[in-house]
Amino acid sequence: MNKSKYHNEFNIVLEFLDQLLEYSVRHTEFNEVSFLSHFNGGNTTGAGSWYLSKSKNNDGPVVSGYLALFNILSIPERSQVLDAFRNDIYFFNQYDTSTFCFQSTKLPTKLKKALNGFVVPFYSQIFNKTGFDQIGTFSKNPFNRSYFFEGYQLENVNVKLCPACLCEIDISQSMIADLDHYFPKHEYPAIAMLPDNLIPVCLACNERIKIQQDPLDTSTLPGAIQRAFIPYKHEAIDEMEIDIEFGTRDKFLIQLRSLSQEETAIARVKNFNRIYNLSGRWPGRLENLYDSILSDLAEDNPEREHLDQWLRNKLTKICISSGKGKRKLPLYYLRLRLIEILLNDPLKFKAALRDLEMRMLPED
């Protein structure tokens, strides 16, 4: 899936977050008059007033999260939080390096909790609700979740599949699409408002399957980020293959395998399967695809003479059409892989041929 047309407008928000953190490092205590003077630029209204208005009082989640930096953390600790924030928000550009390591995941619990309390409300209370304005020049005020989704629609007009499980998704419908924090915000609070960490997936993937699972099996080692498929960076279907076995009672068994023998490549596939449970969810969909294909072919009621060649020709055509739509249309990649295996494995082809004969109308 391509990035939202308005992806880069998050830079305005990230810059404001950085400025707020830096202000906390430079001031021992929070003083509202000083704060407003700094962020309003001498005006009666501005970014500072806007930010404080996001909570009705100091106990509100937006303001309380910021005040906690002053009340709970020392200046050296705030500086440590700022350094982690500045390090982590550039993870997308550091993916191909062997030295990058997330810093927010390694923060002491108190610091990580403080960073979470400060950043996450920007997503949950502002982006998801009132939207952003008065902190920069957005293409639309307020800049919010629905507008960000519109940007996905504009850049992915013909894409109708969930980028995680390949099922159908309509990103214009909030009932079947959601923004997934690929790296969970509770564990990676620094990137809770980073668009590189936000990807539209179906509700099943986000709310029932992945939930808050970490896509990394380790996040503390240098270069560990390469053990995960990064949204918008590269596609898993280019790096893995699916082995499909016919189990008992027409049940399918599948195994996801890396095309590379490199340790990090193998880990990427394992981690991707772990967080989205593809090996557990795809067999049922493959069974439906197989049944649909064979039923449709049986309705053609071909002549039984040379039926094997007829079936091979039909499957070849389906294979070609599936290959053309595998990056845009729901389940086309799974259908492609299923047909390829039927065509290339003589035993599976014979099993499909027998199945087709059983489904066809009896001869007169």
Q: What is the pLDDT of residues 284-340, one digit of tens each?
A: 999 999 999 999 999 998 888 899 999 999 999 999 999 999 988 899 999 999 999
Q: What's residue 172's pLDDT?
A: 67
For the segment 21-48, the average pLDDT, to the nearest whole number, is 94
Q: Please tell me the distance from the alpha carbon of residue 229 to that of residue 231, in angstroms, as a whole number.
A: 6
Strand-pairing partners, residue 31, are none
Distance (Å, rounded) from C-alpha 6 to C-alpha 233? Answer: 17
Question: By three-state DSSP, how is residue 260 classified?
Answer: coil
pLDDT in tens, 106-119: 999 999 999 999 99
Task: Give the start-to-end residue ranges of the domains of the chain.
Answer: 7-210, 236-359
| E strand residue ranges, the chain | 177-181, 198-202, 240-246, 252-258
DSSP 230: P
* Residue 173 pLDDT exceeds 80: no
User: At residue 64, does pLDDT exceed 80?
Assistant: yes
Other residues' Cβ atoms within 10 Å of the Cβ of residue 97: 12
pLDDT band at 191 (very low <50, low <70, confident <90, very high): very high
pLDDT of residue 225: 93
pTM for the full predicted model: 0.90
Mean of per-residue pLDDT scores for the chain: 92
State pLDDT tens for residues 212-224.
899 998 877 899 9
For residue 222, which of 106, 92, 90, 99 has the smallest C-alpha distance? 99
pLDDT at residue 44, rounded to an integer? 85
Is the per-residue pLDDT at 170 higher than 80? no
pLDDT of residue 221: 86
Report pLDDT for 113. 97
The H or E element containing residue 297 is helix 278-299
Q: What are phi and psi of 243, to 5 degrees?
A: -90, 125
- Residues above pLDDT 90, as percent of the chain: 75
Kindly indicate the confidence band of residue 251, based on its pLDDT and cuts at 50, 70 and 90. confident
Q: What per-residue confidence (pLDDT) applies to 177?
A: 65
Q: At what angle do helices 346-359 and 307-325 cross, to 10 degrees?
A: 110
The structure tokens listed for 247 are 């189990």
Least confident span in 60-69, 248-257, 279-288, 350-359: 248-257
Band of pLDDT at residue 250, cut at 50, 70 and 90: low
